[in-house]
Amino acid sequence: MNSSAPLRVGLVGYGVGGAIFHAPLIAAHPQLELTAVVTANPERQQQVRADHPGAAVVDDMDALLHRELDVVVVASPNRTHVELATAALDAGLPVVVDKPFTPTAHEGRRLIEHARRAGQMLTVFQNRRWDSDIRTVRKLLDSGELGRVHRFESRFERWSPTPKPTWRDSGGAEDVAGILYDLGSHLIDQALQLFGPVATVYAEIDCRRPGVGADDDTFVALTHTNGVRSHLWMSKLAARSGPRFRVLGDRATFTKHGVDPQEAALRAGGTPRDAGWGREPEEDWGELGVGADTRRIPSEPGAYQDFYDGVVACLRDGAPPPVDPADAVAALDVIAAARRAAAEITVERLI
């Protein structure tokens, strides 16, 4: 691997994940080159050529693996993650897998072991670790201004009352579809990163919109082993969203509305090279305080580019991967427990 030339990236999939998140971040990185993209959809093939004219377009994974590459990014439908990541590892290539990592924790552990035996990097695109708001919460926790936190409330709520004719809405368990796998993978990962392992899980999982085959309105309650309780909401049927975060401590509360600006910027054609990337305007900052005695807390800038910085550092310098895939397995254990808890109307104990 030439240490000066950009790392050649093969991207599998050009749906929302591939087109909106991965491709722009890869193309904007000075040490990465978007070399080839896999998509069999003619319209998406045309879009790749328009968006990234220097990238080759291929129909399938076999064609991709016949090209000279340094790393493969799997951003295909969830049900295909294991098969495609395994093929890349077997070809001697390091792999980035979009979330949710695998359909089950068992498959995740097997894939991690497969990567270990192959001697290749395996990491998971948990990009929401680099959201502006969660980075701000982390800074507040480290500062001690909240005191001892006892409750963490976190929401991803959207208004999409009409289901879309895609596997994300119409798919079943075999498609790894639904909002718990989609947005819940982020919310659970953030809670685990902030407050550690989980002892018990309770959940309410519903399909609210007519015709959907996967959950679209879900609540998960976690009790961490340190006593913190995380309450996590995710919905596609929220006409008005609640606070993105409410963090309760014994000295103060932090409340934050609105969402990190990076996804909207990427959808609008922005990249991390843009001035002011990831920065929120002051009117969107959260508030810290007690009762009416509050002050605005400047939001930390969002930094999705840091994920791919971590990929480069891992492949070039032997640094740890930016996301340990074992963290994604821990989140999948929680998702499985939530599904059992909701089905049986009980509380699942993990520890």
Q: For 133-137, 177-181, 297-301, which range has the lowest pLDDT when averaged over its residues?
A: 177-181
- Cα separation, 246 vs 275, in Å, equals 30
Q: Which superfamily is assigned to 7-125 in CATH?
A: NAD(P)-binding Rossmann-like Domain (3.40.50.720)
304-323 pLDDT per residue, tens? 999 999 999 999 999 999 99
3 has a pLDDT exceeding 80: no
Residue from 74, 121, 52, 112 nearest 93 by CA: 121
Quote the pLDDT of residue 135.
98
Q: What is the mean pLDDT of the chain?
A: 95
Domain ranges of the chain: 7-125, 129-303+333-349
Q: Determine the number of helices (DSSP H) and then strands (DSSP E) in the chain.
A: 13, 15
Quote the pLDDT of residue 167.
76
Burial of 144 (0-12, 13-18, 19+ CB in 10 A): exposed
Quote the pLDDT of residue 172.
73
pTM here is 0.95
Quote the pLDDT of residue 174.
74
179 has a pLDDT exceeding 80: yes
Report, as an integer, the average pLDDT of 211-223: 94
Report, as an integer, the average pLDDT of 284-311: 97
Domain 129-303+333-349 has CATH 3.40.50.1450: no
Contact 164, 179 (CB under 8 A): no
- Cα separation, 107 vs 114, in Å, equals 10
8-20 pLDDT per residue, tens? 999 999 999 999 9
The confidence band for 1, taking pLDDT boundaries of 50, 70 and 90, is: low
